[in-house]
Amino acid sequence: MAMTDNDTSLASRHARDALRALVPYSAGRDPDTVRRETGYAGPMIKLASNEGVEGPFPEALAAMEEALSAARRYPEAGARTLQHALAEHHGVGAGEVLVAAGGCAVIQHLSSAFLEPGDEVAYCTPTFHLYRLETLRTGAKPVTVSVDAQGVYDLDALRAAVTARTRLVYVCTPNNPTGGLIKREPLRRFLESLPRHVLPVIDDEDYPDPARVRRVTDRPAVIVRTFSKIFGMAGLRIGYGIAPRDVVEICQKVQNPYEVNRIAQAAGLASVRAAAELARRMRTNRESRSRLAAAITALGLKPLPSHANFLCVRVGNARKVARALEARGVIVRPLDAMGDPASIRITVGSDAEHRALLAALEDSLRTGAMDQ
Ligand SMILES: *Cc1c(COP(=O)(O)O)cnc(C)c1O
């Protein structure tokens, strides 16, 4: 029998049923691919993946250089030094911190640990696409309701979607891709209204102090955090969850003990205490975002109010507009995979990147690329 026939039939016969309908995560397109496809010869600008404008903190760069020379050694198992530093920073117990290869890995571990076929997972749409993929991967069922008109998670509708089979409820704030932020009091009421068989997962990519959710409610909940965005380390794959001790312990059972590499652990540790640099970047992001929103509004478009490092803009046919912008050297994210085929998401970038984006947008508008 031919080798390829054998391989194909093996996967189609024995791969898990839940995986058959699963379409892999659709990431922001990379500049080299886009350049090849479009033939655009100028500099290619990527505002498609919410990466931080600046790279790793200076303290993190220095720590990584030092860690490189020790690369023959395995990293610290369970990233214990970083785990303790994060716990101290957030005022929680060390056993309540799960260090993982990005916020995505925290979400994957929660799915592996808690979901079985037939379980339900509730969240709003459009939202972070991984919730859907991870739910389907385990054979569980996504149950979704729409965000409100401002792009904020609709907590009343979400509460109503919870059933006796619901295991996890995702709350994304500010919501990726719309940017809407949930206020503290509605969040408290929502969390406390949830039945005890549901574990809420607050995917919180903005709050400078995630421990504040602890002060909002005593109810067990998971808070997911990343080093990818404002800390400028998306390429290193590091993030963490703050969760009740027993949830952390269960997740560690499904996690590779050396999941987070030595370089990333060192960079994370050096970044945790750099409060002044974090505050400066948050201010810069806020200011750049409002300048960008004003400029896009001046072109006659209406970005949703955003509390994150991106803007969501309704354009009509998102794929078509994204292609038109790519042909002009700017990559943004059409939101069809996230459940909104009419909008694009634009990452907040540098002033020069914004100038290029605005020129490309204006040109696309003029040449009718945005008509349906
Ligand atoms: C960026 C992001 C994450 C985590 O990304 P990692 O790079 O895996 O840390 C998780 N959730 C949301 C909503 C995000 O925007």
Nearest CA owner, ligand 1 atom 3: 103
Report which ligand 1 atom has the smallest distance to the Cα of 175: 13
> Among residues 274, 301, 332, which one ends one of the domains?
274
Query: Across residues 326-355, what is the average pLDDT?
Result: 95
Structural domain harbouring 351: 24-54+276-367
Name which of 180, 169, 176, 188 is nearest 123 in CA terms: 169
Shared-domain flag, residues 270 and 280: no
Would you say residue 17 has pLDDT above 50?
yes
**Measured from the CB, is residue 259 less than 6 Å from ligand 1?**
no
- Mean pLDDT over all residues of the chain? 92
Which pLDDT value is given to residue 214? 65
List the beta strands (DSSP E) in the chain. 45-46, 97-100, 120-125, 141-146, 166-172, 199-203, 222-226, 239-242, 310-314, 330-331, 333-334, 343-347
**Quick check: is 188 in a domain?**
yes
**Quick check: is 163 in a domain?**
yes
What is the Å distance from ligand 1's center to 226 Cα?
6
Query: Across residues 197-204, what is the average pLDDT?
Result: 94
Q: How far apart are the first and last CA of the chain?
A: 51
Query: Would you place residue 330 in the very low, low, confident or very high pLDDT band (cuts 50, 70, 90)?
Result: very high
Shared-domain flag, residues 102 and 49: no
Query: Would you place residue 101 in the very low, low, confident or very high pLDDT band (cuts 50, 70, 90)?
Result: very high
Residue 341 CB partners (closer than 8 Å, separation 6+): 317, 318, 319, 334, 335
Shared-domain flag, residues 214 and 89: yes
Ligand 1 test: best mutation among 203, 242, 255, most atoms within 8 Å of CB? Answer: 203
Report which ligand 1 atom has the smallest distance to the Cα of 127: 13
What is the Å distance from ligand 1's center to 204 Cα?
9
**Measured from the CB, is residue 134 less than 6 Å from ligand 1?**
no
Shared-domain flag, residues 246 and 317: no
Q: What is the DSSP letter of 79?
A: G
Which pLDDT value is given to residue 259? 97
**Measured from the CB, is residue 128 less than 6 Å from ligand 1?**
yes
Which pLDDT value is given to residue 1? 46
**Quick check: is 339 in a domain?**
yes
Query: Would you place residue 205 in the very low, low, confident or very high pLDDT band (cuts 50, 70, 90)?
Result: low
How many independent structural domains does the chain possess? 2
**Measured from the CB, is residue 226 less than 6 Å from ligand 1?**
yes
> Among residues 257, 274, 291, which one ends one of the domains?
274
The rounded radius of gyration (Å) of the Cα atoms in the chain is 21
Distance from the Cα of residue 19 to its chain's centroid: 22
> Among residues 242, 274, 306, which one ends one of the domains?
274
Q: What is the DSSP letter of 303?
A: B
CA distances from 240 to 122, 210, 228, 259 (A): 22, 11, 11, 12
**Quick check: is 8 in a domain?**
no
Which pLDDT value is given to residue 338? 85
pLDDT digits (tens, 9 = 90+) for 145-167: 999 999 999 999 999 999 999 99
* Burial group, residue 371, by CB count within 10 angstroms (0-12, 13-18, 19+): exposed
Name which of 304, 240, 199 is nearest 101 in CA terms: 240
Ligand 1 test: best mutation among 108, 132, 228, most atoms within 8 Å of CB? Answer: 228
**Measured from the CB, is residue 101 less than 6 Å from ligand 1?**
no
**Quick check: is 2 in a domain?**
no
Report which ligand 1 atom has the smallest distance to the Cα of 308: 15
Name which of 30, 113, 86, 137 is nearest 260 in CA terms: 86
**Quick check: is 185 in a domain?**
yes
Q: State the Cα–Cα distance between residues 144 and 339, nearest whole angstrom.
A: 11
Would you say residue 100 has pLDDT above 70?
yes
Report which ligand 1 atom has the smallest distance to the Cα of 227: 9
Query: Strand pairing of 222-226 and 239-242?
Result: antiparallel
Q: State the Cα–Cα distance between residues 200 and 219, nearest whole angstrom.
A: 9
**Measured from the CB, is residue 178 less than 6 Å from ligand 1?**
no
pLDDT digits (tens, 9 = 90+) for 34-75: 999 999 989 999 999 999 999 999 999 999 999 999 999 999
Q: What are phi and psi of 241, to 5 degrees?
A: -120, 150
Query: Across residues 3-30, what is the average pLDDT?
Result: 78
Q: State the Cα–Cα distance between residues 118 and 352, nearest whole angstrom.
A: 49
CA distances from 96 to 99, 119, 201 (A): 10, 25, 14
Shared-domain flag, residues 50 and 172: no
HSE (side-chain half, CA atoms, 13 Å) at 281: 24
**Quick check: is 19 in a domain?**
no
For residue 217, the domain's CATH number is: 3.40.640.10
